[in-house]
Amino acid sequence: MAQTPSIPKGTRDFLPAETARRNYIFDTIREVFHRYGFQQVETPAMENLSTLLGKYGDEGDKLLFRILNSGDFLAGVPGDQLATRDSAAVVRSVADKGLRYDLTVPFARFIVQHRNDLVFPFRRYQIQPVWRADRPQKGRYREFYQCDCDMIGSDSLLNEAELVGIIDEVFRRLGLRTVVKINNRKVLAGIAEVIGQPQRITDITVAIDKMEKIGLEKVREELAEKGIPVEALARLEPLLMLSGDTGSKLLQLREILADSPAGMKGIAELETLFGYLEGFGLQTATELDLTLARGLHYYTGAIFEVKSLDEQIGSICGGGRYDDLAGIFGMPGVSGVGVSFGAERIYDVLTRLDLFPPHTGETTQLFFVNFGPREEAYILPVLARARQSGLRAEIYPDHDKMKKQLNYAHRKGIPWVALAGESEMAEGKVTLKNMVTGDQTLVTPEELIKIVGGAGINSEL
RNA sequence: GUGGAUGUAGCUCAGUAGGUUAGAGCGUCGGAUUGUGGUUCCGAAGGUCGUCGGUUCGAGCCCGAUCUUCCACCCCA
């Protein structure tokens, strides 16, 4: 036996049962997207690095998979870069393409490139894999699928509300109990402003994003390490500790952020959004979470994150408003907002909570045992008629032992087996065996199709 | 990118203080049953012990490197 082959770190194969379950998730999400009027697009796995670099922060740039240029890729590299083993410089010279890191940035590029062919405000969805050169962990892979929906070309907050509606419906259909956390980057900017540290918004948001995980003490330590003055910290803390329902938090914020125009704008946006949501009749809980920051730099308004209430696995869906992503690619003034569903994590949560429906896979309904050449000739037309009438049917390809053929049908979970040997052929009939009860009857081909077709609709096999 | 754990048959794992031909269960294949599956019984195949190198008379076991998987951090879906 040769060395067992393997696949790259952080990637996975999917067996038929897993694929069926994944498709159940994708199909559910897709249906909801359609219901809200979104249209599907696809973009290539690889993008030019100039498209990807600088959009996700330094950390994100490090996690980009780069694709080595074709041909003699070292020919144009300056000798001193090679001599000094300057990896960072060399990689810029030998790779100008990379695998996409998410679906949002390539979509911004797509919008700019195809603006003349699209109807704005444009609602698109996209279900494709993305790649990150991260170190794999539980619920974290190097290749994983994202299911994105975005509205672009409108800054109405009704779009934000619709996204929350989509989130609500997707997780309701999947049977998952979740909470949607909502915040606004302008409010975060206002907070940074009010405590006298407007330039430090990134450090501040990254740190307070960890509130829930590491607690106030550690957040305070981290911010102090980053050089935020003690007085600023003292003014920040009461903000993070705001309590009460969303309405009272907003009231308190209005007073605290009164001197920050950006902050007040953010509060107004949040008030409008939560106002819309009241009319949506959501089942999912929504809450204002001032510690929600999200790492991606391009967000400018609302930000969302969805957590499972029953499993700790990080966020299973996230997104936000980005006012100027298209601007980076030369199309300013086009605002967008979107969310991304993390299919892999949703899969893991559904698995652990045992929430998949019992039969997500479509197996064969009717199996024909192969008795040899003469019987094949007799059965093939019956098989064709079964398929024409909509049955999922197959014939065993070889004249193997009955035991082996029935075991194949059994292991594949096929509910009906048809046998036709000499005696059946003599009568122009087939023996139909029910693999659950073990019963078998002699029927005509017409009866066979009727029985399997009729039973297939409501049989719980 | 940093720190820690792990790696023995297709799968889950044993393997005693380094000592001849490395074991089990499950699965696979064959037979009992030449037209009847999930049970049972019998039998067989299957491993350069992740990889490379080192220590030793001798390494699955000790040491180093590397890769995989997992955990924590960073970050994130």
- In sequence order, the β-bridge partners of residue A182 are A288, A304
Domain boundary among A352, A375, A392: A352
Tell whether A420 is covered by a domain.
yes
| Tokens read off for A174 | 């999947």
Domain boundary among A297, A324, A352: A352
The Å distance, CA of A63 to C1' of B7, is: 27
- Residue closest to sugar C1' of B1 by CA: A62
Smallest CA–C1' separation from A138, nucleotide? B70
The Å distance, CA of A399 to C1' of B44, is: 24
Which CATH number do you get for residue A414?
3.40.50.800
- In sequence order, the β-bridge partners of residue A318 are A305, A340
* Spatial CB neighbours of A330, under 8 Å, sequence gap ≥ 6: A112
Question: Do A262 and A374 share a structural domain?
Answer: no
Question: Do A301 and A382 share a structural domain?
Answer: no
pLDDT value of position A50:
94
Q: Which of A314, A325, A315, A155 is nearest to A304 (CA)?
A: A315
Question: Do A153 and A102 share a structural domain?
Answer: yes
* Residue pair A153/A120 in contact by the 8 Å Cβ criterion: yes
pLDDT value of position A456:
44
Question: Do A412 and A341 share a structural domain?
Answer: no
Tell whether A286 is covered by a domain.
yes
Question: Do A243 and A159 share a structural domain?
Answer: yes
- In sequence order, the β-bridge partners of residue A320 are A303, A338
The Å distance, CA of A126 to C1' of B7, is: 38
Smallest CA–C1' separation from A375, nucleotide? B35
Give chain A's residues under pLDDT 70.
1-4, 295-296, 359-361, 455-461
pLDDT value of position A428:
95
| Tokens read off for A258 | 């009164």
The Å distance, CA of A215 to C1' of B8, is: 44
Q: Which of A205, A336, A323, A206 is nearest to A265 (CA)?
A: A323
pLDDT value of position A295:
66
Alpha carbons A396 and A426: distance in angstroms, whole number: 22
Smallest CA–C1' separation from A137, nucleotide? B70
pLDDT value of position A2:
43
- Residue closest to sugar C1' of B69 by CA: A9
Task: Kindly tell me the burial class for residue A136, based on how many C-beta atoms sit within 10 Å of its own C-beta (0-12, 13-18, 19 or more).
Answer: middle
Question: Do A198 and A259 share a structural domain?
Answer: yes
Question: Do A208 and A318 share a structural domain?
Answer: yes
Tell whether A222 is covered by a domain.
yes
Q: Which amino acid is present at A424?
A: E
- Residue closest to sugar C1' of B68 by CA: A9
* Residue pair A225/A307 in contact by the 8 Å Cβ criterion: no
Task: Kindly tell me the burial class for residue A304, based on how many C-beta atoms sit within 10 Å of its own C-beta (0-12, 13-18, 19 or more).
Answer: buried
Q: Any idea of the CA torsion for A182, A183, A184, A187, to the nearest 10 degrees?
A: 150
Tell whether A121 is covered by a domain.
yes
The Å distance, CA of A424 to C1' of B31, is: 29
Question: Do A379 and A413 share a structural domain?
Answer: yes
Q: Which amino acid is present at A111?
A: I
Tell whether A82 is covered by a domain.
no
Question: Do A237 and A290 share a structural domain?
Answer: yes
CA atoms within 13 A on the CB side of A387: 12
pLDDT digits (tens, 9 = 90+) for A332-386: 999 999 999 999 889 888 888 888 887 666 789 999 999 999 999 999 999 999 9
Tell whether A134 is covered by a domain.
yes
* Spatial CB neighbours of A347, under 8 Å, sequence gap ≥ 6: A21, A22, A25
Tell whether A93 is covered by a domain.
no
Domain boundary among A352, A385, A400: A352
Number of domains chain A is built from = 2
Question: Do A401 and A257 share a structural domain?
Answer: no
The Å distance, CA of A362 to C1' of B38, is: 20
The Å distance, CA of A251 to C1' of B76, is: 32
Question: Do A286 and A138 share a structural domain?
Answer: yes
Smallest CA–C1' separation from A435, nucleotide? B37
Q: Could you identify the residue written with the tokens 């006298």?
A: A196
pLDDT value of position A455:
53
Nucleotides of B under 7 A from a protein CB: 1-3, 10-11, 28, 30-31, 33-38, 46-48, 51, 67-77
* Residue pair A104/A338 in contact by the 8 Å Cβ criterion: yes
pLDDT value of position A1:
38
Smallest CA–C1' separation from A139, nucleotide? B77
Which CATH number do you get for residue A346?
3.30.930.10
The domain of A371 spans 366-458
The Å distance, CA of A221 to C1' of B25, is: 53
| Tokens read off for A194 | 């009010």
The Å distance, CA of A427 to C1' of B56, is: 79
Tell whether A53 is covered by a domain.
no
* CA-based R_g, chain A, Å: 29
Smallest CA–C1' separation from A430, nucleotide? B35
Question: Do A272 and A396 share a structural domain?
Answer: no
Backbone angles phi, psi at A94, to 5 degrees: -105, -5
